Structure 1
C-alpha cells in the first residue's frame, strides 16, 4: 500500500490552531470518523498508545509526529494530516523523556498490523527530505499537500 492511496483532501487540516496534543488528536479523529475510516474507539486508542509509545520525531527545524494505534480501531486505511499554526509538544520517540515541538502531524489509521511497518518506512523516507517538509508547511490547502506528496513520491521512484 502506498502513501498516495491513503491520503486525500478530506483528511487534511492546514494551519490548525491548537494548543495541545489532545486537541489535534481530536480534530484529526473527527475527520477520520466523519468520513467512515475509524471506529469511535480510535481516539482513546491513539491517546493511550501515545502515552506508552511516543511518536514525536526530531528532524531539526520541522519536527513531526506519527500517531497511530491498533488495527481493531480502523474500518478502512487512511492517513489524516495536519500542519500546525504553532508547534505542539509531543514526546520524542527516540528519547521519551524529552519534549519535542511538532508542527506536522501524520495520523495513521491502518487496518493491518503489517501495513504499519511498511507505511512508517515510506513516511520516514519522505521525511528525510527537508524541502518536502517545508513545502507541506507552506501549503495553503489539502489539495496542494496531496500534490506535494505525490510529486515527492514520483521523484523517489
Structure 2
C-alpha cells in the first residue's frame, strides 16, 4: 500500500493557512478521503498543537514545512497529502509554538489507523533528514502534481510496519 495518491497532491496559490487548508479540504472531501468535520478539526488542532517544522537544523538551504493532521475519526483513509505552496504561509513551530515559521510545503497526514499517526510522522521526518538537500529542494520546487507524485513514489521509501 502506498502513502500517496495521484489525485491527492496539490499546488496552492492561497496566501493563508486557513485558505490553503480549506482549498485542500474541499478537494479531499469531494474525493471521499475525509469527512465533513475534518477541516474544523484540523484547524483546531493546528491552533492547539502547531505542526510547523523548522528545517534549518537539517540545512539552511531548505524551506520550512508543516505536517497538518487531525484524529483518524475525521478521515477515511491512510495517505500523505503533499501540498506545494506558491506563496510561503505562516505556521507555528511544532517545537516552539510561540515562533512563526514561513512554510513552503505541507505533508498533510490522513490516517484512519489510530496506531499509525506517529509512524507516518516518523517516516516523514526520516525522509526529510535522510534525503540529500539537493534532492529535497528538487521536490520543493516542483510545480506539477504529477511530477510531485512521481518524485515521492520514487524517493519516499515507505517503511512497512511490522507488528
Deviation at residue 154 of structure 1 after TM alignment: 4.9
Change (3 A) 1:132 1:113: farther
SS of the equivalent of 1:7 reads coil
- The answer as to whether partners of 2:123 and 2:158 remain within 8 angstroms in 1 is no
SS of the equivalent of 1:97 reads coil
Deviation at residue 62 of structure 1 after TM alignment: 1.0
Q: Which protein is richer in helix relative to its size?
A: 1
What is the rounded CA distance, in whole Å, between the counterparts of 2:3 and 2:30 in structure 1?
A: 16
The C-alpha deviation readout for 1:47-82, integer Å capped at 9, x for no partner, is: 000111000000033100000001110112222221
The C-alpha deviation readout for 1:25-61, integer Å capped at 9, x for no partner, is: 1111112111111101000010000111000000033
Give the alignment's Cα RMSD to 1 decimal.
1.8
Gapped runs of 5+ residues in structure 2? Answer: 57-61
The C-alpha deviation readout for 1:63-114, integer Å capped at 9, x for no partner, is: 0000000111011222222111111000000100000000001111100121
TM-score by length of 1: 0.89
- Given candidates 141, 144, 147, the residue that maps to 1:144 is 147
Alignment partner, residue 68 of structure 1? 69
Change (3 A) 1:138 1:71: same
Alignment partner, residue 33 of structure 1? 29
| Runs of 4+ displaced beyond 4 Å | none
Alignment partner, residue 136 of structure 2? 133
What is the rounded CA distance, in whole Å, between the counterparts of 2:86 and 2:124 in structure 1?
A: 22
TM-score by length of 2: 0.86
